[in-house]
């Protein structure tokens, strides 16, 4: 089956999968309500939730009979129902035996409820990841802009899953799903809207932050860095800054190799958007901190100091002292040897003479650089 036919087949299964997820969500919510009402001893509301729970469980189209990942949940639900009935049928007595028995039943009920909730949530996370992967695959090959809103919603759900923190089973799902490569395909394809590409970039960023050991390598060998620079949006530069902080010098090396450093420096001067210039400056600071000799030299060769002087002269307070701010990041950073820091500082002082409109301006900024603080 070719990729187009695969995408069509995937689309046909999408509606059924969404219905299954909604059913499991209803069961999960019913279980939580039953547990809450039992703890508050509200048996009237509890009976209502139990009825809802059992109706959902015994539906003919129940997902439990079809999905092997939920095969154990059906039995757990039956056990839970029996425990709930035992608790509701038992009448509190005055003796110690009655008290202990009810406490044991409540403890077991809580244990089984937690087990079911955990298994259902893991299933929901699994389906969310695979459904997003299928949607990314389908939209890439069909170029269907009408699917973009659905895709954006699924990306938000995916980010919520990652925000829960690291889980080894979830990590396995992420690798098996191939979601990184599908996100990168959308990011790198200019056919899609900027909003969709930016969301893909953010999802990639969060994958890296979720597990650097796994996803850093994929960023460095792929086209993510080059695509982020070519997009030249505020969001893409924010993601780039975050990735530089996370991956450090290797990411800056890749940025240099793909010609991205000079493009970022150019944004300081040629962008008409103040926020864009500010975000480009943030990237420059990160590159200065983590960049090795070749990367810092690339910025200086691209006219960085002249552009910073112009920003410092003509823009708002947010660019005040931007030359010395860059110098401080470079001197305190991780990418350069001590001798390289001294040499670059001297080169910055020399370039100030070219970029300043007067000797007084050059002397003021040079003093800031030498003292390490704005005057």
Residue 330 burial class via C-beta count within 10 angstroms: exposed 0-12, middle 13-18, buried 19 and up = buried
Determine the pLDDT at residue 5.
43
Which domains are assigned to the chain?
1-122 (1.20.120), 143-218 (no CATH), 223-375 (1.25.10.10)
Q: How far apart are CA 176 and CA 214, in angstroms?
A: 12
Long-range contacts at 336-344 (CB < 8 A, ≥ 24 apart): 336/291, 336/292, 336/293, 336/296, 337/293, 340/293, 340/296, 344/296, 344/297, 344/300
Question: Given this model, what pLDDT does residue 165 score?
Answer: 87
Question: Please, are residues 155 and 112 in contact by the beta-carbon 8 Å criterion?
Answer: no
How confident is the model at residue 1, as a pLDDT? 39
With 0-12 / 13-18 / 19 or more C-beta atoms within 10 angstroms meaning exposed / middle / buried, residue 229 is: buried
Q: Which two tokens stand for residue 74?
A: 């059906």
Give residue 75's pLDDT. 76
Three-point CA angle 145, 11, 189, nearest 5°:
40
Instruction: Give the burial class of 336: count Cβ atoms within 10 A of its Cβ; 0-12 exposed, 13-18 middle, 19 or more buried.
Output: buried
Q: Which residues of the chain, if any, have pLDDT below 70? A: 1-18, 31, 34-66, 87-95, 97-100, 102, 143-146, 271, 315, 373-375
pLDDT of residue 79: 78
Q: Give the count of beta carbons closer than 10 Å to the beta carbon of residue 61.
A: 10
- Check residue 6 and give its pLDDT: 40
Instruction: Catalogue the E-assigned strands of 78-203.
Output: none
């Amino acid at each position: 089956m070719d990729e187009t036919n695969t995408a069509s087949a995937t689309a046909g299964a999408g509606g059924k999968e969404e219905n299954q997820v909604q059913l499991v969500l209803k069961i999960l919510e019913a279980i939580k309500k039953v547990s809450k009402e039992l703890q508050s001893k509200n048996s009237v509301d509890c009976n209502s939730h139990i009825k809802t729970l059992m109706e959902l469980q015994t539906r003919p189209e129940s997902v439990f009979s079809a999905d092997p990942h939920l095969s154990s949940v059906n039995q757990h639900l039956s056990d839970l129902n029996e425990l709930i009935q035992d608790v509701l049928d038992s009448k509190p007595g005055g003796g110690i035996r009655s008290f202990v028995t009810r406490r044991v039943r409540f403890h077991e009920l809580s244990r089984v409820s937690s087990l079911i909730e955990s298994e259902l949530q893991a299933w929901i996370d699994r389906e969310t990841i695979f459904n997003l992967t299928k949607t990314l695959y389908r939209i890439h090959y069909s170029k269907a802009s009408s699917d973009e809103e659905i895709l954006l919603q699924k990306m938000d759900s995916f980010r919520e899953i990652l925000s829960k923190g690291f889980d080894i089973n979830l990590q396995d799902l992420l690798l098996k799903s191939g979601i990184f490569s599908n996100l990168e395909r959308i990011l790198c394809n200019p056919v899609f809207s900027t909003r969709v590409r930016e969301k893909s970039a953010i999802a990639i960023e969060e994958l890296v932050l979720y597990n650097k050991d796994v996803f850093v390598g994929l960023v460095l060998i792929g086209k993510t860095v080059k695509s982020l620079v070519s997009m030249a949006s505020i969001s893409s530069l924010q993601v780039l800054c975050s990735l530089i902080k996370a991956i450090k010098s290797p990411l800056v090396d890749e940025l240099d190799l793909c010609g991205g450093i000079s493009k970022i420096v150019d944004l300081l001067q040629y962008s008409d958007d103040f926020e864009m210039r500010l975000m480009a400056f943030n990237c420059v600071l990160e590159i200065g901190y983590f960049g090795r000799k070749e990367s810092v030299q690339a910025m200086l060769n691209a006219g960085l100091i002249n552009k910073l002087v112009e920003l410092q002269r003509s823009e708002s307070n947010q660019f005040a002292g931007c030359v010395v701010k860059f110098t401080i990041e470079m001197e305190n950073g991780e990418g350069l040897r001590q001798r390289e820091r001294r040499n670059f500082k001297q080169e910055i002082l020399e370039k100030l003479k070219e970029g300043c409109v007067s000797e007084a301006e050059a002397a003021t900024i040079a003093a800031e650089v030498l003292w390490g603080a704005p005057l």
